[in-house]
A = this chain, B = another copy of it.
């Protein structure tokens, strides 16, 4: 039942992405084709799902949130495309398929990432006005801009890239910074925008921020563990790469056993964070999935 619900959210996200990303028939076709290739290469639609869940939790209707859900996935996919570039992580596979730059070349991949980032803000500012007030839309759009900026996603990405293969003075703090920023910031913003557009209070948003912080850590620590112990066919990307390239991960910093312990602790913290809120079953289900997933 839980699983069915989560899948239906992913379906709503896909429907919106299908509608809002221009067709490869629209000039210039190659850029739209590259955007669609990466967006529809698979993916769990985690961020849209989190937004749909909190939007419903606070009384909103999922249909109204669809443009924002598409924007969240565009932001996530942009970050993956740029992250995979030769100058960054130099990844060949993503979601089980060749990465964007391997399919379309580096120039188009850079532009496709830029285009998805830009499209996210177009969707937020143009496609939500039928059902939300300008003030609400502006607040939600600002939330995403801050989450994706240098104190959020890009900050995490920068430290991640620079720490690679380096001796870092405080690896525990650094890996936590990377994970909470690179992954946690947009996860938290997804939870908050959904809730915000449904009129959640400041205290409710604060509880979601705490949950998002630990949920982001759960996802990323599980990712680090899967890079060590996962099944490449299931995970859909090259495994063992973190170790080879000297990435800072929970496994490289703490060892496998302690990383698993940290994962359990973060899971407990996720559950505690939700205590002040009601109707949290779906969010608890996502946290459980984050911890247990093998792909």
Chain A positions near chain B (C-beta within 8 angstroms): 22, 26-28, 30-32, 35, 78, 82, 85, 87-88, 105-108, 110-111, 113-115, 117-119, 121-122, 125-126, 129, 133-135, 137-138, 141-142, 144-146, 148-151, 154-155, 157-159, 161-162
- Let me know if A162 and B30 touch, CB within 8 A: yes
- Let me know if A28 and B155 touch, CB within 8 A: yes
- Let me know if A82 and B126 touch, CB within 8 A: no
Q: How far is the CA of A157 from the CA of B28 in the complex (A)?
A: 10
- Closest chain B residue to A89, Cβ basis: B107
When the two chains form the complex, which single residue of B27, B78, B142, B149 contacts A155, counting CB atoms closer than 8 Å? B27
When the two chains form the complex, which single residue of B35, B105, B150 contacts A87, counting CB atoms closer than 8 Å? B105
- Let me know if A122 and B146 touch, CB within 8 A: yes
- Let me know if A115 and B28 touch, CB within 8 A: no
In angstroms, how far is the closest chain B Cβ from the Cβ of A84? 11
- Let me know if A110 and B87 touch, CB within 8 A: yes
> What are 7 A-to-B residue pairs whose CB atoms are below 8 Å?
A31-B154, A85-B110, A111-B158, A118-B149, A122-B145, A133-B134, A138-B138
Chain B residues closer than 8 Å to A148, beta-carbon distance: 118
Specify which of A87, A126, A133 lies most central, judged by the most chain B CB atoms within 10 Å of its CB: A87
Chain B residues closer than 8 Å to A145, beta-carbon distance: 118-119, 121-122, 125-126
In angstroms, how far is the closest chain B Cβ from the Cβ of A245? 13
In angstroms, how far is the closest chain B Cβ from the Cβ of A30? 6
Chain B residues closer than 8 Å to A161, beta-carbon distance: 107-108, 111
Specify which of A27, A108, A154, A161 lies most central, judged by the most chain B CB atoms within 10 Å of its CB: A154
- Closest chain B residue to A142, Cβ basis: B125
When the two chains form the complex, which single residue of B82, B133, B138 contacts A137, counting CB atoms closer than 8 Å? B138
Specify which of A27, A82, A85, A145 lies most central, judged by the most chain B CB atoms within 10 Å of its CB: A145
